[in-house]
Structure 1
């Protein structure tokens, strides 16, 4: 078996907004360079470089494929090590293998101080073998939860990039829940599951901790091609304690106005937050529960005062009400704008069965439930994105 290097061209990548050529390979980004320069926030820069929804797509008769990468994993002071990021191989849409990459860099974050430290390591390889020696569609999904520099791609047969345009493009923006927090695999995030059920091509701009109505994110969405669009907003605005009701309403209108500059008639679905009991009636800021630091089950708590809601502080209940009013007001002039209550994806009855394990993020089973529900509600006949 002779393995041959495959040129890492942009045509191979789906779900990335920009491909940066580095000294040793290529780095997929989910925000363009100008946006990263405008918003040099460490959390956002880390989140957008974690390739949730990004995959290499090509046709080949190869029976063996190797991907060499330099991952950057995230570790938290006082918390147990996180599992290695998973690479998934799909052949003609069906699972054909999973693997991990040893080595790489480690970014250690102190949640109490915000301090960050990087320990450098060597690249590693994930290999897939025993594939059918026939022409097939290959999708190699990168880990959704660790920054991944692709160093090289090798195969034992020629590889041909598949031009985009074979399916409708779904452009989605959201928080860490959309990014895939607590999902076990890159195809196990709720947007990836919904996209697979609906048969659409996902571009996932879910940014952990960073769905904050940033104008640069709106301009990025404005300029990207999309057949349908969704924006799931709320939880980060509450747990970051970023703004009050007056600012939120204006910023939300501005965010939608910017998207509409590039997509004036594209179906656009605004999704409110899923149930999160700690922030339903208690404002942020959110923070790790000190009593759980250093344990295997770090949990989050709300640090605000419910009495401050009367002065305009945001809770999830407030945001749901305001989003409903915003969409109703805009639909007078924008019949292609729609609203979905996030409680239809995960509500009180679901919380009783599938409680958020860290009080903030859904588990893998809840990601599956949310993805299937979203596909049924939004993409099925009669749905906002059908």
Structure 2
């Protein structure tokens, strides 16, 4: 790699290393922008077929994406341009967090300043971007030895990587020996209100399961889109899971007649590229507002006066007979579909999401906004998934590989 010495204030003799795709893991594609490198979690072909602002926003939020390199550096600076969400009339969203891992262990946590703000009006659905300056994330006092460094990017902010500076040379880390786990799901898989990027439930489960994560959890956008299925099909992986259900209810997107063949088609497409890979279908975790009440999900503006955003089910249970979807209906159908297909596909498995978070968990750790788990619940879901999927006898257990 080419390194160039930069004059910077202070005693540190900084080396600037170009940020390239070679240093990134967890992204499916990178885009060169006027500022730097923008990681994407869907390829351009899929993005062109999406035509949805919500999906465009969330696939560019780098959940599970990290810079990985080897260095002796004791100080690291990363210039980034973030785009942070804000909602009209709602309290400010928490800032994104960067996690620094040294040889696989958390060694630092930091944030940045500046950046763009995407202001969203939930009543009209309109959004406008207010531009801001590049910010810098700093990590110092690192051990002075050769080490593998990972900088996990915020799961909830679009992040353009502008410049990487260190006080010692950087080289790409050798390819990992761990199995690659490719996961797709909704905002809960994306990260929702997790403590930090390595504490989203999939990142935690990957760490506990000794797997290399590629997280295609898209907030509000796990909708059985064919282009997402093709992205899963075309991405090399040793283990695959898909968490299906809640967003189909939130958006009131389809009825039972469309849902059943859409699930089959989604799984068929994944199997075109991964005919024998362990494939785990996970149904929704418990979400009481939608267990027996269809969507759509609507903002509950009555809670804004208390400084918090909450959600409510706006559908009518009487419409279930007409094919409206609830979480109860979806779990029943997913279980049936997987059982039917597993007769010819022994590496296809099903996990009821209530084993990850169920009635007793809701009583102890309720969903703060009626929809998304908090940081403690992410930890519980991640630990449970690791035990059920990667543990002895689970579909991702090492001895099955």
Q: Which category of TM-score, normalised to the shorter sequence, fits these structures?
A: over 0.9
Write the deviation string for residues 4-53 of structure 1: whole angstroms up to 9, x where unpaired: 11121211001001011111200000000111111120000000000000
Determine the structure 2 residue equivalent to 1:268: 279
Matches within 5 A, 1:246-257: 246-257=257-268
Determine the structure 2 residue equivalent to 1:345: 356
Determine the structure 2 residue equivalent to 1:384: 395
**What is the CA distance between 1:114 and its match in structure 2?**
0.2
With structure 1 as the length reference, what TM-score do the two structures score?
0.99
Write the deviation string for residues 88-122 of structure 1: whole angstroms up to 9, x where unpaired: 10101111111111000000001111010110000
Distance (whole Å) between structure 2 residues aligned to residue 85 and residue 135 of structure 1? 28
Q: Give the secondary structure class of the aligned counterpart of 1:293.
A: helix
Matches within 5 A, 1:6-85: 6-85=17-96
1:370 aligns with 2:348: no
Determine the structure 2 residue equivalent to 1:243: 254
Determine the structure 2 residue equivalent to 1:212: 223
Determine the structure 2 residue equivalent to 1:258: 269
1:301 aligns with 2:312: yes
Residues 11, 163 of structure 1: 8 Å contact kept: no
**What is the CA distance between 1:293 and its match in structure 2?**
3.1
RMSD of aligned Cα (Å): 0.8
Distance (whole Å) between structure 2 residues aligned to residue 127 and residue 177 of structure 1? 28
Distance (whole Å) between structure 1 residues aligned to residue 305 and residue 273 of structure 2? 47
Count, aligned residues: 386
**What is the CA distance between 1:125 and its match in structure 2?**
0.2
Determine the structure 1 residue equivalent to 2:188: 177
1:201 aligns with 2:246: no
Determine the structure 1 residue equivalent to 2:344: 333
Matches within 5 A, 1:107-186: 107-186=118-197
Distance (whole Å) between structure 2 residues aligned to residue 165 and residue 125 of structure 1? 28
- Consecutive unaligned residues in structure 1, runs of 5 or more: none
Write the deviation string for residues 136-191 of structure 1: whole angstroms up to 9, x where unpaired: 01010000001000101111111111233421000000000000001120011000
Determine the structure 2 residue equivalent to 1:312: 323
Distance (whole Å) between structure 1 residues aligned to residue 396 and residue 108 of structure 2? 31
Q: Structure 1 residue aligned with 2:239, among 216, 221, 228?
A: 228
Residues 177, 361 of structure 1: 8 Å contact kept: yes
Determine the structure 2 residue equivalent to 1:286: 297
Distance (whole Å) between structure 2 residues aligned to residue 285 and residue 83 of structure 1? 26
Q: Structure 2 residue aligned with 1:100, among 111, 116, 133?
A: 111
**What is the CA distance between 1:65 and its match in structure 2?**
0.4
With structure 2 as the length reference, what TM-score do the two structures score?
0.95
**What is the CA distance between 1:61 and its match in structure 2?**
0.4
**What is the CA distance between 1:370 and its match in structure 2?**
0.3
**What is the CA distance between 1:294 and its match in structure 2?**
4.8
**What is the CA distance between 1:295 and its match in structure 2?**
3.6
Write the deviation string for residues 300-320 of structure 1: whole angstroms up to 9, x where unpaired: 000000000011100000000
Distance (whole Å) between structure 1 residues aligned to residue 306 and residue 43 of structure 2? 37
Q: Structure 1 runs of 4+ off > 3 angstroms? A: none
Q: Give the secondary structure class of the aligned counterpart of 1:255.
A: helix
Determine the structure 1 residue equivalent to 2:7: none
Q: Give the secondary structure class of the aligned counterpart of 1:8.
A: coil
Q: Give the secondary structure class of the aligned counterpart of 1:89.
A: strand
Residues 79, 295 of structure 1: 8 Å contact kept: no
Deviates more, 1:294-303 or 1:322-331: 294-303
